[in-house]
Amino acid sequence: MKKGIFITVEGGEGGGKSSQVRKLGEVLEQKGHNVLLTREPGGATGAEAIRKLLVEGPGGHWDGITEALLHTAARRDHVVNAIWPALEAGKIVISDRFFDSTIAYQGAAYGVDKAKLEMLTHFGIGDFKPTLTLILDLPVEAGLERAATRGGKETRYESMGADFHEKVRQGFLAIAKADPKRCKVIDASRDIEAIHKDIVAEVLKVL
């Protein structure tokens, strides 16, 4: 049994996950908790190398199965070398994305069979899952508009079109509906402070 608490923040493009992860980490540290902020794909040396392949460049490199395999390889490295050691040390680990993103993107959007993705996830990390998953939800058009203002090279998924991202959104909502105890949907169409307030309220329930 891991000693710490594992929290993930999920959702489509432009939902403000990274900003909310940082704000949540600051609040928890102010309350005296030892916190690790991390992300997927990435969060460990090998996983960060795979991230570059997945999030940069044009969108047509691989099919959904190939992407799922790359994400799973990155996740294994992330969990073994970052998340599990931090939890064993008693930290609160907050990750910007985790396996639900694979179910939503490669499953719901690309059409890879969900059961196969779940088997792949189990092969990589066993039965390990977050204590709490916060899904930041907002309309696709609004999310893509926000994402377009970020700049940088990590635009591969953003370039895949509104239809793709609507499937992603519905995939996340289906995940939340199927696992309401773990997953909480947060309305991310509001201002950043309102979203933050709801996130903190949900997190305090599990501390």
Tell me which amino acid residue 81 is: N
Alpha-carbon span 69 to 64, nearest angstrom: 9
The CATH code of domain 5-206 reads 3.40.50.300
CB burial of residue 1 (10 Å; 0-12, 13-18, 19+): exposed
Span 87-112, pLDDT tens digits:
999 999 999 999 999 999 999 999 99
- Cis amide prior to 41 (ω within 30 degrees): yes
Break the chain into its structural domains and give their ranges. Answer: 5-206
| Residue 113 burial (C-beta neighbours within 10 Å; 0-12, 13-18, 19+) | exposed
Mean pLDDT by 10 residues, the chain (207 residues): 86 93 98 97 96 78 90 97 97 98 96 97 97 97 82 65 93 98 97 97 96
Buried b (16+ CB within 10 A) or exposed e, 119-140: ebbeebbeebebbbbbbbbbbb
Give this prediction's pTM.
Answer: 0.92
Residue 1 tokens read as 């049994």
